[in-house]
Amino acid sequence: MLIEHLLATKGNEVVTVAADTTIAAVVAVLQEHGIGAIVVSDDDGGTVAGIVSERDIVRAVADRGGAALDEPVSALMTTDVVTCQPSARIEDLMAVMTEHRFRHLPVVDDGRLVGIVSIGDVVKVRVSELAEETRTLHEYVASGR
């Protein structure tokens, strides 16, 4: 399956914050949306300036305590963001996520942010594809061909 097909089902909404947003505010947004990472964007979600995940926040709080919550997200975010294109295949994303050991990939088309894919989205697609393959094989065997 291609990422553009996944986004057609999942939608294009990406939760973003500006780079000067405090970590305390980011935590509230993560909680409100039930997500694990946020794309940082300084043009209201048009382009990607960085990404911050719950792991970055856990690390900062472990290092600096509650004071980390007052820092701007720009202090913690990863700026070297790996992205993918809508034309990429789910299998390609699985390889990228495994190689880099992260669970979120913003989808960018012609420099513009058009979606985000999490490892949960990828697993959901693969489980459904495997169920379909199993069903097809059962039908094939049952038909005696």
Distance in Å, CB of 112 to ligand AMP, minimum: 16
Side chain identity at 16, as an amino acid letter?
T
Give the per-residue contact string, 47-66, with ligand AMP (x = CB under 6 A; - = no).
Answer: ----xxxxxx----------
Q: What is the rounded distance in angstroms from the CA atom of residue 137 to the CA atom of residue 143?
A: 10
Stretch that binds ligand AMP, among 11-19, 24-32, 46-54, 137-145 (CB under 6 A): 46-54
Instruction: Figure out which of the listed residues 40, 57, 104, 117 binds ligand AMP, where binding follows CB under 6 A.
Output: 104
Instruction: Figure out which of the listed residues 82, 90, 94, 114 binds ligand AMP, where binding follows CB under 6 A.
Output: 82
10 binds ligand AMP (CB under 6 A): no
Evaluate whether 19 touches 76 at the Cβ level (below 8 Å): no
103 binds ligand AMP (CB under 6 A): yes
Q: What is the rounded distance in angstroms from the CA atom of residue 37 to the CA atom of residue 116?
A: 10
Evaluate whether 26 touches 38 at the Cβ level (below 8 Å): yes
Helix axes 3-10, 119-142, angle to 10 degrees: 100
82: tokens are: 């790996």
Distance in Å, CB of 64 to ligand AMP, minimum: 16
Stretch that binds ligand AMP, among 10-18, 61-69, 98-106, 107-115 (CB under 6 A): 98-106
Q: What is the rounded distance in angstroms from the CA atom of residue 22 to the CA atom of residue 74?
A: 9
User: Residue numbers of the site for ligand AMP (CB under 6 A)?
Assistant: 36-37, 51-56, 78, 81-82, 102-105
